[in-house]
Structure 1
Amino acid sequence: MHICHIVLNNIGGAPKVADSLISSQSKAGYEVSTVVLTVLESRWIVSFKAAKTVIVMKVAGTLFIIGGMIHQIWVAIKLSGVIAEQKPDIIVCHSAFITKLFYLSKFIPGSFSVPYISYIHSDYISESQVKCKTNSISALIQNLFISLASRIDMLALQQASGLIFVCNSLYQRLANIGLKHHRIVISYNPAIDEISNQPLHPTAKSWFNNSQLITFVCASRFHHQKDHKTLLKAFAKVSENHLNIRLILLGEGDLETEIQALAKFLDIDEIVLFAGSVLNPRAYFSLSRAVILASHFEGLPLVLVEAVASGVTFIATDCPVGPREISEVLKCGTIIPPSNVDALAAAIIDHVKTPQENIERSEQIAQLFSAASCAERLEVLIEQVISKVSIN
């Protein structure tokens, strides 16, 4: 059987999950290919080495702006040609956006007819709501395009041969707006073990080695979604009365310079470390007091699972999807309202005033967030889809 995975790019949680699935399927004897729509950096963060074939379409990032329907149709045409050359037995689309592109590609003359599974990793409803604008004619037009795109998204999901959601709350969010499907699978993403021996940032190491300091860690890209502004404002508020706290920010992104400027404006740039992208975030997690995630929205934020796997607890915002479910499943963590400086500051103070909490959830994590269970759920779904196609 030839399984083709389509991913948006090579960076982030969804590509890592796809890479894990591709590796498992390759070891199981399947022929696996991967189509990557665009590469965000010259160096591969995820390289999909286990795939027999990796095709990079090199589609410019600007083509993914919501409302750019003409561009999206152009990408769908290119995608149709790629799939026709590969001739897979089944497609796995790793986002609602890719599902839409593949759905549109099926209407291209000469396209290759093949069943597809949609693997939903993120809360794309919240993503589209962020992009909505008001108070101008151009904004009205853009909102109409967003509405049209959402309708096509829903139709593409309804027509899929199967749907996989990375958590129950994500499925419920779509079910609440009318999504109905006869073949739904809930599959938590795997918490993949680290193999890097990258040394700690020198400043981070000195902070961790100082028993008088209490250091928190946040690992997320610098993007509006992750709301570093609220995090820094809360941290600045706490630092007024707790001079021994430190914050390490792991990651990169378009807003990094802006967030650095905010840290300087708040006069906390000496106690906030911008450590950049690292290959061993768990090494930082394990030495911290807690991991903080201040996002406006998420899918299944594995950073929280990885924090717990490292033996520490977390503070996370109560997004529509993700953090609360992880907190309830693993029975740990502090959940606070999004965009609330006072609530986040209070949660940080609670962790400063209480002793270090050692978390042991290895059994639950191995059971619920393993690569094997994730691959098994997808394999069962693929077999169901293929068997139905064979009967028809």
Structure 2
Amino acid sequence: MHICHIVLNNLGGVARTADSLISDHVKAGYKVSTVVLTDLDLLWVTTFKAAEPVIIMKVADTLFYIGGAIQQIWVAMQLSKVIANQKPDIIICHTAFVTKLFYISQFIFGNLSVPYISYIHTDYISESHVKAQTDSIKALSQNLYVSIDSWINLRAIKQASGLVFVCKTLHERFLKLGLNHHRVAISYNPATPDSKNPPFNSIADSWLNNSQFITFVSAARFHDQKDHKTLIKAFAKASETYSNIRLILLGDGDLEIEMQGLVNSLAISDIVLFAGSVPNPRAYFSLSRAVILASHFEGFGMVLLEAVASGVTFIASDCPVGPREISEVLKCGTLVPPSDVDALAEAIIDHVKTPQEKVDRSELIAQFFSETSCAKNLEVLIQQIVK
């Protein structure tokens, strides 16, 4: 059997989960190909290496988000050609967005015969929520486009041969939309082994290995979803009580310069470090007091699992999907209301006031978040579809 995985890029928890599944499929003796829609980030060039072939379409990320319908149809046309050439027996579409593109691609040459699984990694409902605008014809057109786009997304998911949700609460949110699919798997993302140990940023090294400092780490791209603004303001507030705290921000993105400006305006540039993207944040996590994730929404919150796998706890916003379920399963972590500067600042202060919690949740991680269980859940679903 030939399994084809389609992913947007090789960054983040989605890519790491896909990479784990691809490796498992190859070990199981399947022919596995991978289609990457955008160019590979060089820090993660070894991702998907188990697949043969790995096809990189090299479409600019920005086309998907600012280009609109015409560009997405063009990408779907190119994707249709790739899939027709590969002739897979089943497609795994990682994220609702990729599912939509593949769904459109199947209409281009009138071939709807390839079964596909939509692997829902993210809170698509929160992602697609856009406040309606009524003050102009342009805004009304935008509202119409968003409505049509959302309809296509849900149609693509409903027409899938099977669905995988990365946590129970994500599935429950989709059920509220009437998405009661007959083939569904709930499969937590795996805590993949940590095999890389890149050199530290020199400043990060001096903070993390200095007992006089209490250092927190956040690993998230600089995007509105991740709400760095609340995190930075909360950290500034907490630093008024404890001047020896430090914050390392891992990641990059469109809002990085804006967040650097906010740090400067709050006069905390000496205690906040923008360390850039790293292929393995766990080396930073393991030496931190706690990992912080202040997102408005998540699909799962992979960094929280990675934090606990590294032996530390976390502070996270209690957004609709992800952090609470991880906290309940692993029996650790502090949750605060999203966008609440005061609550997040108080949580940081509480962690400084109390002895550090070194957590050993290896048994729970092995039980719920193993690569084996993740691969098995998908394997069962595939066999139901192609039998």
Q: Quick check: TM above 0.5?
A: yes
**Contact 2:319–2:338 (8 Å) recurs in 1:** yes
Q: What CA distance in whole angstroms lies between the structure 2 residues aligned with 1:368 and 1:79?
A: 34
1:37 aligns with 2:41: no
5+ residue gaps, structure 2: none
Q: Structure 1 residues 111-120 or 350-359, which shifts more?
A: 111-120
1:374 matches 2:386: no
Q: Which residue of 2 aligns with 1:119?
A: 119
Q: Which residue of 2 aligns with 1:256?
A: 256
Q: Stretches of 4+ moved more than 4 A in 1?
A: 42-46, 130-134
* Corresponding residue for residue 365 of structure 1: 365
Amino acid at match of 2:76: A
Q: What's 1:316 paired with?
A: 316
Q: How does 1:126-145 map to 2 (within 5 A)?
A: 126-130=126-130, 133=133, 135-145=135-145
Is the 1:132–1:146 contact (alpha carbons within 8 Å) kept by the matching residues of 2? no
Give the match for residue 47 of structure 1.
47
In 1: Cα distance, 2:135 partner to 2:286 partner: 47
Unaligned runs of 5+ in 1: 388-392
Contact 1:216 1:288 in 2 (8 A): yes
The 1:34–1:332 alpha-carbon spacing in structure 2 relative to 1, beyond 3 Å, is same
SS of the residue 1:119 aligns to? strand
Look up the match of 1:265: 265
Deviation at 1:110, TM superposition (A): 5.0
Q: Which residue of 1 aligns with 2:100?
A: 100
1:217 counterpart residue number: 217
Give distance in 1, aligned partners of 2:182 and 2:110. 29
Separation (CA, whole Å) in 1 of partners of 2:176 and 2:267:
44
Q: In 2, distance between residues paired with 1:322 and 1:28?
A: 30
Rounded to whole Å, the distance in 2 between the matches of 1:34 and 1:133 is 39
SS of 2:254's equivalent in the other structure is: coil
Contact 2:166/2:300, CA 8 A, preserved across alignment: yes
Contact conserved, 1:11 with 1:46, CA < 8 A, in 2? no
Query: Does 1:28 find its partner at 2:28?
Result: yes
Aligned to 2:287: 287
- What secondary structure sits across from 2:171 in the alignment? helix
Query: 2:190 is aligned with what amino acid?
Result: P
* Contact 2:241/2:349, CA 8 A, preserved across alignment: no
CA–CA separation in structure 2 for the residues paired with 1:112 and 1:150: 21
1:1-392 to 2 correspondence within 5 Å?
1-39=1-39, 41=41, 44-45=44-45, 47-65=47-65, 68-111=68-111, 113-130=113-130, 133=133, 135-387=135-387
The answer to whether the Cα contact below 8 Å between 2:293 and 2:315 also exists between their aligned partners in 1 is yes
Q: 1:133 to 1:309 in 2, by over 3 A?
A: farther
Q: Distance in 2 between matches of 1:26 and 1:370?
A: 17
Q: Which amino acid aligns with 1:382?
A: I
Describe the SS at the equivalent of 1:107: helix
Using the alignment, how far apart are the partners of 2:368 and 2:131 within structure 1? 33
Letter of the structure 1 residue corresponding to residue 150 of structure 2? S
- Distance in 1 (CA, whole Å) between partners of 2:205 and 2:62 is 39
Matched-pair contact (CA < 8 Å) for 2:89–2:115: yes
How many residues in Structure 1 have an aligned counterpart in Structure 2? 387
1:120-144 per-residue CA deviation (whole Å, 9 max, x = no partner) reads 0001111111576553321221121
Cα contact 2:79–2:102 (8 A) shared by 1: yes
Give the letter aligned to residue 111 of structure 1. N
Q: Alpha carbons of 1:57 and 1:254: their partners in 2 closer, same or farther (altered >3 Å)?
A: same
Q: Helix, strand or coil for the counterpart of 1:215?
A: strand
Q: By how many angstroms is 1:91 displaced?
A: 0.5
Per-residue deviation, residues 241-275 of structure 1 (Å, max 9, x unmatched): 21111111111111111111111110100011111
Greater alpha carbon shift after TM alignment, 255-264 vs 104-113: 104-113
Q: Distance in 2 between matches of 1:173 and 1:106?
A: 27
Residues 19 and 46, structure 1, Cα contact 8 Å, conserved in 2 = no
Task: Provide, for residues 324-380 of structure 1, a one-character-per-residue CA deviation record: whole Å limited to 9, x for no partner.
Answer: 110111111111111110010111111111111111100010121111111111111
Change (3 A) 1:280 1:105: closer
AA at the equivalent of 1:191? A
- Rounded to whole Å, the distance in 1 between the matches of 2:45 and 2:369 is 21
Question: What is the identity, as a one-letter code, of the residue corresponding to 1:179?
Answer: L
State the 1:10 CA deviation. 1.9
Paired with 2:283 and 2:134, the residues of 1 have a C-alpha distance of 44
Alpha-carbon distance change, 282 to 228 in structure 1, aligned in 2, over 3 angstroms: same
Q: CA deviation at 1:28?
A: 0.7
SS in 2 for 1:117: strand
Instruction: Note the alpha carbon deviations across 1:169-192, whole angstroms, 9 max, x for none.
Output: 111111112111001100001111
**What amino acid does structure 2 have at the position aligned with 1:380?**
V
- Letter of the 2:111 counterpart: S
In 1, the alpha carbon distance for the partners of 2:283 and 2:11 equals: 20
Superposition RMSD in Å: 1.6
Q: Residue 390 of structure 1 aligns with which residue?
A: none
Per-residue deviation, 1:90:
0.4
